A and B are shown apart, each in its own frame.
Chain A
Amino acid sequence: MEAHLQHLLNAVVLGGTYALLGIGLTLIFGIMRVVNFTHGELYTFGAYMAYMLAGMMGLNFFMSLAMAAVLGMALGALIEFTLLRPLKGADIDTTMLVMIGAGIAMQAGEQLVWGGVAKSVPSPFPTEPVVIGSVSVGMNRLFVLGVALLLLGGFYLLINRTKLGVAMRATFQDPDTAALMGVNRGLMYTLTFALGSGLAATAGALLGPIFVVTPTMGDLVALKAFAIVILGGLGNIPGATIGGFVLALAEEFGAGYLSSGYRDAMGFILIIAVLIVRPQGLFAMKERIG
């Protein structure tokens, strides 16, 4: 029983960050329809910014997190402005190739600036874990889960309940009509990409202190983010949230009870199984790409 509970707790904590990555990408891939290969690199960027601000410059940890998120948004806006804007109207393959190139260039850049050796971000939390009955969890992980849940709720409200959210959704459903209604389309594109990128950078900055920071840390993460988005249904924020938690549960219990060496394979096996039964994902929107 104790083992089940510990695995469950591990999965919930991990699921929070997966969900954060998932909603960031679902904004860009699901709503904007950009196959974004820079998502994992934005995650890495966020982690390195946290390392630079909190680790090298000695700034306050929470301040550094906020700044890493803002810098991630700024980088996202820059990518949209310089790479995606000139490609407006280009077919999906062209955009995808440009984004693959951008992802590779960013990873090479990170390697050049920071070197290949792992960095560690100092964490302000005590190493003593929080003990609940027979299970325990690190304070830093609880903090990550808390921030993730806050952001998940916040973004759900932003997209579904605010005027800005309506404008964003309208822009990607029917750009011309949205423009006629007075929506600034260019601004919406940049803003959506920046928000999605900011979420990836936040996830990286949050997880930096828990894991170690390396230039290739975003590779597997990007793959998982795509899986989560597809699992939850494109462009669906609650879907991506649930998809994140489902993936974490599959990995954690698969590794705990089946085979730990193939932990990362477990999640993808589950995704293949889901897509065979429900090709549109668990919580799909009515229409799909392509």
Chain B
Amino acid sequence: MRTMKTTALLLSAALLAPGVAFAQETIKIGVTQPLTGAVAASGNYVANGARVAEEVVNANGGVLGKKIQLIIEDNKSNPKEAVASAEKLIVRDKVPVLMGAWSSTFTLAVMPKLVEYGVPMVVETSSSTKITTSGNPWVFRIAPTSAMEAKSFAEKLDHFQPAIQKADFLAVNNDFGRGSAEEFRKMLQAKGVKIGVTETMAPEATDLSAQLSSIKQSGGDTLFVTTGVEQITLILKQAAELRLPHRVITNGGSSSPDQLIAQAGAAADGGYFTLFFAPWFPEKAVHPTVAKSFVDGWNKKGYDFAGLTEGYRGYDGIMTIVEAIKKAGKAEPQAIRDALWTVKLDGVNGDIAFKKDGPEGKESGQNEANVYVVQVKDGKVTMP
């Protein structure tokens, strides 16, 4: 009996040992992204960008003498699943830091868990202003807020010919869409642009002809669209069917124009798209060498070119986390959070550094990000 017990103990020790050794060799970083469901295209692009960063970091010797290891979980384009995936990463995988969760709605759902467990999260995509103003000191956002995007856009307003006289809105009915429509409406109003109708759509809606028919009646000349690439594809196709006279401008940076050209064809022509990285013109990035090394790493992996505009988010997000771990000197949640405040990094989007945002004493970190506007002309992306 005793021998059996001893054998069992030895056996389990033998089984556990490699796992323990492995865990000591790597620093884990948790990632939660929508890999399936309504906004899966973007989530996969971001995850691929993170994988490129992982490879680049490890090829250069890792951080603190260890390799980094991404643990990527699917949040299924669903806020409930986003919470479950974050909890799994923190509790089961014991990651000291997270990156996620793409949509503002998913990120807002995850945020209370960060406070509960005391784990910092770098937010790579979500744009809802609420994320950094709600008093959550574990959130650090590298993506621009809708307000920042609207402000950057305002500087480019004069470039539009003919000028924007009256704007209509079509936004996905969640924190991202409603928040962005609100910020752009305020900005345009301040610039003396008339505001027409604001239509919304459910995140999984596919037939948008009712909304577009109402927008057609409003008599506006420009339609601002806020949603992910799947719905933008449908909107462009259906707008062409309904002969919508509007100039279409999408914001939020999740339009992946090359995917639109491939899937919506001629219907994408003439559209304007705000982006936070324009891979067709890496020389126009703030740090062209950083942009180039990201694009090279992406191409080496054989990923789809169309995904670069979103993929950069994952790359910059992981690079930010790695820099914070380096500065912290140890891979522990509290130390990483403190170090995030001191990060100064040349990112694909531009300079990454966090400023305080939100109520005093419980500030979140917010980065000043760059915004680009591109146009599709004759099936090609141009920078007007």
Contact = CB atoms under 8 A, between A and B. Distances in A.
Given A215-B36, A220-B204, A129 B214 contact: no
Query: Which 10 A-B pairs rank lowest in CB-CB distance, beginning with the nearest?
Result: A116-B36, A261-B200, A138-B241, A255-B210, A116-B40, A261-B173, A120-B263, A10-B209, A211-B206, A6-B213
B56 interface: no
B323 to A, nearest CB: 30
A117 B39 CA distance: 8
User: Main SS of chain B's interface residues?
Assistant: helix
25 contacts: A3-B216, A6-B213, A115-B40, A116-B35, A116-B37, A116-B74, A117-B44, A118-B41, A120-B263, A127-B237, A127-B266, A127-B267, A129-B242, A137-B241, A138-B238, A211-B207, A212-B206, A212-B230, A214-B230, A220-B204, A251-B210, A255-B211, A260-B201, A263-B202, A264-B205
A136 interface: yes
A216 B242 contact: no
Q: Is the interface on chain B under 10, 10 to 19, 20 to 34, or 35 or more residues?
A: 35 or more
B211 A136 contact: no
A38 to B, nearest CB: 19
Contact of A111 (B36, B202, B267): B36
Contacts of B242: 6, 129, 136
A214 B241 CA distance: 22
Interface residues of A, number: 39
B209 A118 contact: no
B71 interface: no
Interface string A1-35: 01100110010001000000000000000000000
A203 interface: no
B210 A117 contact: no
B11 interface: no
Contacts of A253: 210
Contact of B201 (A10, A115, A219, A261): A261
Contacts of A261: 173, 199-202
Contacts of A217: 206
A131 B243 contact: yes
A169 interface: no
A117 B40 contact: yes
A31 to B, nearest CB: 29
B60 interface: no
A118 B206 contact: no
Contact of B240 (A127, A212, A262, A264): A127
A271 B65 CA distance: 63
B210 A118 contact: no
A136 B239 CA distance: 11
A87 to B, nearest CB: 30
Contacts of A127: 237, 240-241, 265-267
A252 B209 CA distance: 8
A120 B264 CA distance: 9
